[in-house]
Chain A
Amino acid sequence: MATTYGTSDFRKGLRVEFDGDPYLVVECEFRKPGKGSAIYTLKVKNLLNGRVLEKTFRSGDSISGADCHDQKMQYIFNDTKDWHFMDPENYEQYAVSKEQLGDLWKYLVEEMMCEVTFYNGNPITVTPPNHVELEVEYCEPGAKGNTATNVTKPAKVQTGAEIQVPIFIKIGDVLKVDTRTGDYIERVHR
């Protein structure tokens, strides 16, 4: 059952509905001239197509919550078009398209547990763990002894994605990568 949020409930992270689409509140600013009327400005991201809109409200206004829920699911495989996830409780499978994933396909490794967001019963987005470990399948060799981290080169990892890594990284290294920014964090010793 969708809830209604009043302006005093507005905050970052709420999932709301406009014109039949689910949106995530990514920014919420309360503005009020000292002696004037309060204005709430929300930046909302469309959970279906990623578009960001700015919406303005006055106190007392309200918005409908989006009928969304998250579920822990295991990523099992992809057929280059869809990425397939399984509910470990009942083995039900759901497909999320590459378009819906955006850049996130780069970080999805088989058997990884992810949070899948459902809207009106359909999976719409996936949130992988903030940090994932990816193995380097190919990269150019770096200069020996160069441990500088400010010079980077591309490395192809097991998911097929290219990650910018420091020069000293070699094939077979395991990288810790931030899925929110796509940035290399460190080399992991397994």
Chain B
Amino acid sequence: MCSRSTPERAIILSESTGKSGGELRGAAAEALRLRARLLAQAREFFSQRGILEVETPLLSRGVVVDRHLDPPVCRYGPAAGGGENLYLQTSPEAAMKRLLAAGMGAIYQVAHAFREGERGRLHNPEFTIIEWYRPGLNHHELMDEVGALVNLLLPEQSKDGTWEKLSYRQLFRDRLGIDPIECGAGELGQAAEKLGVELEGEFDWKDRDAWLDLLLSTRLQDDLGRERPVFVYDYPASQAALARLCPEEPRLAERFELYIDGIELCNGYHELLDAAEQRTRFEKANDQRRSDGREPLAPDERLLEALESGLPECSGVALGFDRLVMLALGADSIDEVLSFPFEDV
């Protein structure tokens, strides 16, 4: 483990924060060694389960359109001008699904992903995802596999080797006494106000998902997974992203997230297979982006073609590897596990 008092390599910020030694920016050598060990262990885990490591391009001509994700855009072409704009991926999902549709079977990837404007204690605009897909598994079966990986990599957080599963709906009902599916935007707003959320600026009072996100990230998340890892599953259909809807309750989507020590570590889906539905969701996301004042994005047509040609029944999950290293290290900031945080590139 890293001893913060004697880092072998620690870049000290110019402004001392009053903590001894100032604030670290960039990982100490010991953190990078731990990172390498965890990655090797993860690869071994996948290899033992017969999951194949793949690599896919970081650059693409179209994206998985998401209302809240902005891929950086690169210009590819002669220095003199012209050329085309390519996106840096926000996750390797589209390319990996194309491989699945081509019949590659169970695959995983350790990939860099890029998200414009995401910078904070748990965010770096460029970060590392471990993403994997399991044909034939539903989201509950995949959660169990994620649990096994977490047990292996984070024995301290796993304690007795078990994990909890809690539905999104139950979480809101138990902890806040509100039903996230039935409640209208007004009721959610009132709940937030009662919980002491002081809002400034322009807030769209009619946007239910904005309220749900706000309640989850400011009033629920910090307590999640303190005792043992917690999977939150079956999200509102409005937040389905690329998950299929629950057959018995179409207001819910078969999506899950994993929380450990208040940190969101994974996001996974029982994958949507329907190309037409996926196209409709991309269009809807672009409509929302327009009304949010964001540029619409070019949907990944090759992904849609792959879905049309037939994606096997499967579940897939993305794990934030930097955050996993943070948890293993007991780090407060993602900067402690990155060789060079964004400001230093």
Contact = CB atoms under 8 A, between A and B. Distances in A.
Q: Does chain A bind chain B?
A: yes
Interface of A: 8, 18, 29-39, 41, 53-63, 180-181
B239 A35 contact: yes
A1 B241 CA distance: 44
Interface string B36-77: 000000000000000000000000000000111100000000
B217 A34 contact: no
Contact of B213 (A8, A39, A55, A57): A39
A56 to B, nearest CB: 5
A53 B203 contact: no
B217 A63 contact: no
Given A34-B264, A35-B241, A36-B239, A60 B214 contact: no
A180 B217 contact: no
A57 to B, nearest CB: 5
Contacts of B320: 34
Given A55-B198, A55-B200, A34 B257 contact: yes
B302 interface: no
Interface of B: 18, 66-69, 117-123, 196-203, 209-210, 212-214, 216-218, 221, 239, 241, 257, 264, 267, 292-293, 318, 320
A54 B218 CA distance: 11
A128 to B, nearest CB: 15
Given A56-B214, A60-B293, A180-B18, A29 B202 contact: no
A36 B199 CA distance: 17
- The listed residue with most B CB atoms (<10 A of its CB), out of A29, A41, A55, A58, is A58
Given A39-B213, A41-B218, A180-B18, A33 B202 contact: no
Contact of B201 (A33, A35, A41, A57): A57
Nearest to B66: A35
A64 to B, nearest CB: 11
17 contacts: A18-B200, A30-B121, A30-B122, A32-B118, A34-B257, A34-B264, A35-B66, A35-B68, A37-B67, A37-B214, A39-B214, A53-B198, A55-B198, A56-B214, A57-B200, A58-B210, A61-B200
Contacts of A34: 257, 264, 267, 318, 320
A32 B116 CA distance: 12
Contacts of B122: 30-31
B213 to A, nearest CB: 4
